Structure 1
Amino acid sequence: MTGSNSDSYSSFHRPAAVAGSFYPAQPLTLDSEITAMLARVEPRAVPAHPPKALIVPHAGYIYSGPIAASAYACLSALRPDIRKVVLLGPAHRIAVRGLALPQASAFDTPLGSIPVDAELARRALECPQVQRNEAAHALEHALEVQLPFLQHLLDDFTLLPLVVGMASAQEVAEVLDLVWGGAETLILISSDLSHYRPYAEAQQLDQDTAAQIAALQPLGSHEQACGATPINGLLLCAQRRGLQARLLDLRNSGDTAGDRSRVVGYAAFAFTEPAS
């Protein structure tokens, strides 16, 4: 389906594309696996103040699930509060100009359906860099793997899913500002860190990248993080709004899945707003 900036959308659901490969396809198994990962998060790792935004990794759960759980554990006390999730991640499957909204009206996972927020989509489409593009979403795993965690932890909520392609950090920040909302809205950025480097080299590079993010300094390369563009858009918003970033977890696939010859880095961050 070609891109379009029309604010109309279809009533079909985007089916799960990576259930059974990136995460379990059976609902009970999936829910049990998420419960177990969350239970292993150290309580001291959870920030005292509720997060406005999170950065989470997006590989198969065997690789990055425990690190993602470190971020999602922050939402355990926010079940009744969060009603909208704005989810951004990089395009892996097709080339995308700007930011892509789906045509679908809902996203399905083995745990059920999540409606796309029509009002937030309308606001996002006020920006010329945002278009509807179902092809960008059809097989994209970076957004999908976040959804079961959200369904496990939150009550009824709507979703604004955006695949980020060739765009500037300023263009991403402009969209985030339009849909920022209040305590009812969570901003979620999906990104892994370095890719396919030896273990020790990846550790050093990812530590440097994590320090930049924690200091709200924009990343200079997608070699640091595949989601560098949406991360940088969030960092611009965080700078302007006085948010503080906290590193919750930093590991790689060599820590979680054993093979240390060529690893992928994963980090979890929470961004909190200044106390009023």
Structure 2
Amino acid sequence: MGIRKPIVAGQFYESDFNSLNKQIIECFESKKGPGALPINKRKYCVLGAVVPHAGYFFSGSCAAWSYKAIAESEFPDLFIIIGPNHSGMGRTSTILDDWETPFGIVKADKEFGKKLINNSCIVEDSIAHLHEHSIEVQLPFLQFVSRDHLKDLRFIPITVGFDCNVGEIASGIKKTIQESCKKICIIASSDFTHYGFSYGYVPFSTDVKENMQKLDNGAISFIKSLDSRGFLEYVNKKQATICGAVPIAVLIELMIGKAKKVNLMQYYTSADIMGDYNNAVGYASIVFK
């Protein structure tokens, strides 16, 4: 087992420690962010979150809302990060390598990972993780808000395909969590609607801002009601370009019977940053408690 090196440092986020630290602080303190750390610890657990995975310039301020909630809650024993497989390479899989970012090494929980492989359809396969950014971009944020617990920070990455069995994946993860007796926070890495000719998705040509928000709000309503089947049916019906629909559906399944509150913390689109509605992507930060 080796170390998974960063592949989008210098592209999606800054590639050196000081610049990255400054960039993440700006994500929190920006107009669309949740406000600066330090934070006050509260007596609740963030059980899960939906977090965007675009470049920090675009979605970092949205992601910061979930990570501030995580920072304010009880620190879990393990983070499970579930991301989509944009390249289509490889299988629904995990890897047991530690991961490197400009902030240092994030250790994988190898014992949990081995049990997960034994309990589920999830295999150990590095191919799906070679060119995938959706998990990597979560790690610097996770390190940033876990500074007081870095030696205890552990995670497991799971990359899922677009046509896999949501129930089967969730069942294997749930069984492994139950056997582990650990406090766990699950992050589904996903952007929302990708609109425009660049994405091959133009279901409307007027009132783009309002229609994008309406489309994404429809999906978010199913997430908030913990209805994974309704969510996936909505995505299929609308042919919605939500890249992490499967990770979100798996997260919903795992939150049923656990989460008592589901809060939309922030929503905006790349067009709110750039002013370009010809091609735009929606971002949402959703927290499960």
Q: Are 2:190 and 1:215 equivalent residues in the alignment?
A: no
Percent identity, please.
Answer: 28
Provide the residue aligned with 1:227 in structure 2: 244
Unmatched segments (≥5 aa) in structure 2: 197-207
- Please name the residue that 1:21 is paired with: 11
1:190 corresponds in structure 2 to 189
Q: Which TM-score applies when normalising by structure 2?
A: 0.82
1:128 to partner: Cα distance = 4.3
Structure 1 match to 2:284: 267
Between 1:110-119 and 1:182-191, the stretch displaced more is 182-191
TM-superposition CA deviations, 1:104-137 (whole Å, max 9, x none) = 5210011101111111101210234111111111
How far did 1:231 drift?
A: 1.0
Counterpart mapping for 1:9-158 below 5 A: 10=1, 12-40=2-30, 41-42=33-34, 49-78=44-73, 81-97=75-91, 99-102=92-95, 104-154=96-146, 155-156=149-150, 157-158=153-154
How far residue 249 of structure 1 moved from its aligned partner, in angstroms, is 0.8
Give ranges in structure 1 of 5+ residues lacking alignment. 1-9
Q: How many residues align?
A: 257
The answer (yes or no) to whether the contact 2:119–2:176 under 8 Å persists in 1 is: no
Secondary structure in structure 1 of the residue aligned to 2:72 = coil
Q: Does the CA contact (< 8 Å) of 1:253 and 1:265 recur in 2?
A: yes
| Aligned CA-pair RMSD | 2.2
Of residues 230, 233, 241 in structure 1, which corresponds to 2:258? 241
Specify the alignment match of 1:160 in structure 2: 156
8 Å contact 1:199–1:262 — kept in the other structure?
no
1:249–1:30 Cα change, 3 Å: same
Task: Tell me the alpha carbon deviations over residues 127-157 of structure 1, each in whole angstroms, 9 at most, x when there is no partner.
Answer: 3411111111111100000000001111221
AA matched with 1:70: W
User: Aligned equivalents of 1:182 and 1:75: distance in 2?
Assistant: 20
Where does residue 171 of structure 1 map in the other structure?
Answer: 168
Whether contact under 8 Å (1:129, 1:171) holds in the other structure is yes
Segments of 4+ moved more than 4 angstroms: none
Q: Which amino acid aligns with 2:169?
A: V
Change (3 A) 1:29 1:179: farther
TM-superposed CA distance for 1:233, in Å, is 1.5
Letter in 2 for 1:249: Q
User: d(CA) in 1 for partners of 2:88 and 2:166?
Assistant: 20
Q: State how far apart, in whole Å, the 2-side matches of 1:76 and 1:101 are.
A: 25
Matched-pair contact (CA < 8 Å) for 1:62–1:257: no
Is contact 2:48-2:255 (8 Å) kept?
no
